[in-house]
Structure 1
Amino acid sequence: MTLRSVDVVVIGGGLAGLCCAIHLSKHQFSVVLIEKNHYPKHKVCGEYVSNEVLPYLDYLGFNPFSHGAKSITEFELTTHNNKSISTKLPLGGFGISRFKMDYELYLLAQNSGVKVIHDTVIDVQFEEDNFTTALKLGESISSKLVVGAFGKRSNLDIHFKRNFIKKKSPYLGVKVHAKGEFPDDKVALHNFKGGYCGVSKVEDNHINLCYITSYNAFKTYKGIDQFQKSVVFKNRALSHIFKQTDQVFDNPLTISQISFATKKPVENHILMCGDSAGMIHPLCGNGMGMAIRSAKLVSDVMIDFLNHKISTRQRLEVAYTKSWKKTFGLRLKVGHSIAYLFRQDWLAPKLLVLLRGLPFLIPQIIRMTHGKPIKME
């Protein structure tokens, strides 16, 4: 067993973990980031990012438009019975694949001095105000702080006996990339019975099609193709997009057991970040933005702690919990409520009629699930 000592260990190399590691490294702290997979890698994700995070990404040294990201300003919503409404996005966003963005942030992290280890964490122990992180291949790493950025659902959640992991989640996610005609500047959300699908452009003129559905709605059909033909394609907009485009992937990517249950921002003294701290419903289209923004929140409090501006670990954990809840608490509540309402098949068309009559409500609802541009001091 080899043992190294660093300031911070970041577990998980998605958007939250990578941004956090880069941020800390910019402040001259030693950081080890542990990611079990190799880059680049596709992930089931809507791949739309709110412009609220652009000032922070600029601070980190990452410009998504240098890597082919599409600027998005328009929004369209359709219901399962083919009613639609369109509006401009209050702040706007951009489309970029996780395949591209995670990989470019990984390269930036390495160039920033972050040590990246491709391995699996099997245990994290906290003793005498210090962490020891044990890896599957035998290495152990000592650190003052540990960040949990290991995603939606992980074996570590089971290992740490987190409350949300005890309950089975009824959601299934499916994603493909396709080539064909779709506006560069639009993100669309198409509702079907039992779920909804996000559509937007990413780099290389690929169209990202990512939908979420309940497992109960899916399990009565023999596979994805039959489910799409029998359920998803009842929405004419989705039927047109899927049938008029050519899939880039050999097979769709899928993920199950997606949990939107409440999580704690701090567990076993580990500061949780990104989806490990909480997930907003994809219906609200801002999971990537939340992950990136949470990286700044956790980095800021850790920097203050490591620079002795926060005097104790207890105060650090309280400060981070308050900051996280203040930033994301309302978003998550609104996201849960919107998702619940649109899951009611009888209600979704009525809501759309209401929104057509009161169009000013749509930008207001979008603002409630998104933040203002991050201020960089």
Structure 2
Amino acid sequence: MCDFDVIIVGGGLAGLTAAIHLRSKNYNVAVFESKQYPHHKVCGEYVSNEVGPYLEFLGISLPPTIPINEMLLSLENGNVLKAKLPMGGFGLSRHAFDHLLYKRAKELGAKVFIESVNSIRYVNNHFRVGLESGRECTGKFVIGSYGKRGMLDKDLKRRFIQKKSPWLAVKAHYKLDSFPENLVAIHNFRGGYGGLSKTESGAVNFCYLVAYDSFKKEKNMARFNQNIIARNPYLDKFLNDAEMLFDQPMTIGQVSFHKKKPVEQHIIMCGDTAGLIHPLCGNGMAMALHSAKMASESIHTYFKTGFGDRSQLERDYETQWQHMFAKRLWMGRQLQAVLLNPRLSHVAMGILVNSPYIVNKLIKNTHGQIIRCQ
């Protein structure tokens, strides 16, 4: 049996960030990830600049990227809104970002295992983590960072997993040299919306979210692109001009935006495992890193103060998580509701085009502040 200070279930952005942070404080850390690095994930791949100082603190050297400082929003009828992004960000693929964090975690001495976790049980102030191989590991803390939904959610009987979700997410990279490097574009179509932005490789990431009922009526992806997505003139031009670089688009079903708890059965949840922001806000990657920072600092404080009150740590983390993210998640839900309603979106677009103040306010309310480090 292997024993660790902290076991991290899921080696994506949040999990690897927590591993790096905790290893920098010399804790014995294990990460369990089901897929070999590097690999692609369904993700918008826009990173807000709020994470810059924290990445420096972690010792992460990013590949050269082009600053993204403009946003474009279009409706199916061709109406369009353009705005500056005051904080801005950059495009970085999950293929590159996760691999970069993985190498840094390994460099610092984190134990990274390519193996799935089947169960997590809290017994006598310790966790017992059951692995796919039949082995078991123990740890003082467990961080859950295994993504939007998984079998562990069912095993833990999390409330959101009992509710059906209509959303399907689809992603692929495309070659289109003429796409503006400094732009993130959000395009609405019937039953969904998609985002376009360039990554560090020069490829354009097209990631969209659609109600499954809308998708299944078209029988296959080619017909869906032709009959639904291409009704938006911007997306029609993109699909005609661009060359897909993947053999097939990646998909994830049952994407849930239901509320989740940041702490479940004493497991500290981070990233999408704690709460999923709507992709149109373009801030999920930054939130994943920020939540990992909060969890790591809470655990460090617990150990540093001589094994304090676990319940207090959990309450403090939940309070901090709600303070940092609850408003942004709520705003994302409201914006999506408007965007998916043709009448409301038309009215809202008319207001926003003539109201730069409101546009700036919405952008600010879906982005966080610079993540400060000590």
Same fold (TM over 0.5): yes
For residue 268 of structure 2, give the secondary structure of its aligned residue in structure 1.
strand
For residue 211 of structure 1, give the secondary structure of its aligned residue in structure 2.
strand
Deviation at 1:216, TM superposition (A): 1.2
Distance 1:309 1:72 in 2: 44
Matched residue, 2:117: 121
Matched residue, 2:189: 192
Matched residue, 1:55: 53
Deviation string for 1:59-101 (max 9, x for gaps)?
Answer: 111132xx23331011101011100011110100110000110
Check if 1:14 corresponds to 2:12. Answer: yes
Change over 3 Å in CA distance of 1:309–1:348 after alignment to 2: farther
Deviation at 1:349, TM superposition (A): 1.7
Distance 2:138 2:27 in 1: 14
Residue 140 (structure 2) aligned to one of 119, 138, 144:
144
Deviation string for 1:206-246 (max 9, x for gaps)?
Answer: 00011111011111111111011001011111111111011
Question: Unaligned stretches of 5+ in structure 2?
Answer: none
Matched residue, 1:226: 223
Over the aligned positions, Cα root-mean-square deviation in angstroms equals 1.0
Residue 104 (structure 1) aligned to one of 97, 100, 104:
100
Deviation at 1:319, TM superposition (A): 0.7
Matched residue, 1:161: 157
Q: Contact conserved, 1:310 with 1:316, CA < 8 A, in 2?
A: no
Deviation string for 1:146-194 (max 9, x for gaps)?
Answer: 0000100000000000000001110011111011120111100011111
Check if 1:93 corresponds to 2:89. Answer: yes
Distance 1:49 1:360 in 2: 23
Check if 1:288 corresponds to 2:288. Answer: no
Change over 3 Å in CA distance of 1:323–1:309 after alignment to 2: farther
Letter in 2 for 1:269: H
Matched residue, 2:166: 170
Matched residue, 1:297: 294
For residue 201 of structure 2, give the secondary structure of its aligned residue in structure 1.
helix
Aligned length: 373
Distance 2:57 2:357 in 1: 33
Deviation at 1:310, TM superposition (A): 6.8
Matched residue, 2:261: 264
**Structure 1 stretches of 4+ moved >6 Å:** none
For residue 343 of structure 2, give the secondary structure of its aligned residue in structure 1.
coil
Distance 1:106 1:138 in 2: 25
Matched residue, 1:351: 348
Distance 1:205 1:159 in 2: 40
Distance 1:120 1:334 in 2: 34
Q: Contact conserved, 1:52 with 1:373, CA < 8 A, in 2?
A: yes
Residue 238 (structure 2) aligned to one of 229, 238, 241:
241
Query: How does 1:302-341 map onto structure 2 within 5 Å?
Result: 302-308=299-305, 311-341=308-338
- Percent same amino acid at aligned positions? 42
Distance 1:226 1:309 in 2: 61
Deviation string for 1:41-66 (max 9, x for gaps)?
Answer: 111110001111111111111132xx
Residue 214 (structure 1) aligned to one of 198, 211, 214:
211
For residue 317 of structure 1, give the secondary structure of its aligned residue in structure 2.
helix
Letter in 2 for 1:278: G
Matched residue, 1:362: 359
Distance 1:106 1:327 in 2: 26
For residue 367 of structure 1, give the secondary structure of its aligned residue in structure 2.
helix
Distance 2:180 2:73 in 1: 15
Deviation at 1:309, TM superposition (A): 6.3
Q: Contact conserved, 1:280 with 1:331, CA < 8 A, in 2?
A: yes
Change over 3 Å in CA distance of 1:310–1:75 after alignment to 2: farther
Deviation at 1:203, TM superposition (A): 1.4
Distance 2:65 2:107 in 1: 22
Change over 3 Å in CA distance of 1:310–1:284 after alignment to 2: farther
Letter in 1 for 2:308: S
Matched residue, 2:28: 30
Letter in 1 for 2:209: I
Deviation at 1:363, TM superposition (A): 1.5
Letter in 2 for 1:332: L
Distance 2:192 2:306 in 1: 46
Distance 1:183 1:61 in 2: 30
Deviation string for 1:294-322 (max 9, x for gaps)?
Answer: 11111110110111267211111101100
Deviates more, 1:309-318 or 1:261-270: 309-318
Deviation at 1:114, TM superposition (A): 0.4
